[in-house]
């Protein structure tokens, strides 16, 4: 067996979590991440039939029975992951009943997957049905994005329009717009189901006064979506009090969509 700490999926996950912490987005135990792994690849590092313990789940994941995920641990700090991945991360396989996470590696202190496991696994189910190349669900607490949800109209159309108006990149990177959930208690099946439902139409979902979910076929794609939203939100927060005079107009956004051949959300422009 090869050393799992040197597996490309592990190295990249640890680097990503360290980066998220350094950006100041994941204070304390904030944020969580799950990556769908390839069983053949994992088999080079682990005996995937060797289960350390069963972890019960409170929701139905029978659509992804047998799938294997690398998942951040509940209560764990992104700050610490690089120093002890096996303590802070776990690799789970979804059991036959669809209600058990079978621990294959990690959570060495007796830990469990993130409290947001329902949002993660239900979102994986949603996205895999839309895009078979989907792999990553990322949740983080980007400062300006959260600040924007405190002061902006939370309608998806309004918030998407503002994000598009702030910088040229926005409509290019997320032409479908962003989904928004009003404030809800986190860590529940309800917010997990609501997030997975939202991610049917968009790849980004804001959680008001909390954070953001982004999905993608790899860590770069999920992170790239989130950092582009956060940059637009930062531009908004920097300029809103001075009065925004030169935001990108609807005509200019349409011109951009033409240049880049974007399949954008038509009803979001006037």
Residues in contact with ligand 2HA by CB under 6 A are 29-32, 114-116, 139, 186-187
Position with the least CB separation from ligand 2HA: 186
- Expressed in angstroms, the distance from the first to the final Cα of the chain is 58
Q: What is the dihedral of CA 142, 146, 152, 158, to 10 degrees?
A: 50
The helix (H) or strand (E) run that includes residue 96 is: none
Which residues bind to Zn ion, rule: CB under 5 A?
Answer: 211
115 binds, among Zn ion, ligand 2HA, none (CB under 5 to 8 A by kind): ligand 2HA
Cα gap 145→23, rounded to integer Å: 13
Distance of closest approach, residue 65 Cβ to ligand 2HA, in angstroms = 25
Q: How many residues does the chain have?
A: 270
Distance of closest approach, residue 123 Cβ to Zn ion, in angstroms = 14
Cα gap 222→205, rounded to integer Å: 12
Cα gap 49→146, rounded to integer Å: 41
Of 156, 168, 247, 240, nearest to 204 (Cα)?
156
18 binds, among Zn ion, ligand 2HA, none (CB under 5 to 8 A by kind): none
* Residue closer to Zn ion (CB basis): 19 or 108: 19
Distance of closest approach, residue 242 Cβ to ligand 2HA, in angstroms = 32
Tokens at 30, concatenated:
């904030």
Helices (H) and strands (E) in the chain, counts: 11, 9
Distance of closest approach, residue 187 Cβ to ligand 2HA, in angstroms = 6
Distance of closest approach, residue 116 Cβ to ligand 2HA, in angstroms = 5
| Residues classed as catalytic | 116
* Residue closer to ligand 2HA (CB basis): 166 or 204: 204
Cα gap 141→213, rounded to integer Å: 9
Of 156, 180, 143, 175, nearest to 26 (Cα)?
143
* Residue closer to ligand 2HA (CB basis): 32 or 228: 32
* Residue closer to ligand 2HA (CB basis): 32 or 144: 32
* Residue closer to ligand 2HA (CB basis): 116 or 156: 116
């Amino acid at each position: 067996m090869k050393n799992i700490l040197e597996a490309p999926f592990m190295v990249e996950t640890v680097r990503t979590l360290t980066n998220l912490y350094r950006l100041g987005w994941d204070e304390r135990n904030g944020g969580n991440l799950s990556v769908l792994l390839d069983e053949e690849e994992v088999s080079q590092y682990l005996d995937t039939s060797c289960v350390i313990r069963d972890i019960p789940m409170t929701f139905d994941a029978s659509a992804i029975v047998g799938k294997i995920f690398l998942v951040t641990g509940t209560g764990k700090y992104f700050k610490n992951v690089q120093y002890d991945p096996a303590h802070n991360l776990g690799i789970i396989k979804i059991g036959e009943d669809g209600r058990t996470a079978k621990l294959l590696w990690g959570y060495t202190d007796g830990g469990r997957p993130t409290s947001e496991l329902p949002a993660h696994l239900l979102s994986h189910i949603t996205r895999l049905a839309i895009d078979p190349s989907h792999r990553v669900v990322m949740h983080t607490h980007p400062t300006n994005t959260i600040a924007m949800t405190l002061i902006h109209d939370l309608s998806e159309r309004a918030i998407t329009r503002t994000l598009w108006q702030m910088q040229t990149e926005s409509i290019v990177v997320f032409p479908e717009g962003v989904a928004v959930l009003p404030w809800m208690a986190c860590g529940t099946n309800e917010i997990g189901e609501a997030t997975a439902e939202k991610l049917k139409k968009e790849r980004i979902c804001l959680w008001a006064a909390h954070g953001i979910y982004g999905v993608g076929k790899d860590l770069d794609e999920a992170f790239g979506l989130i950092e582009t939203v956060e940059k637009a939100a930062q531009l908004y927060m920097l300029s809103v009090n001075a009065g925004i005079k030169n935001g990108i107009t609807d005509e200019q956004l349409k011109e951009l969509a033409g240049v880049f051949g974007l399949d954008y959300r038509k009803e979001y422009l006037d």
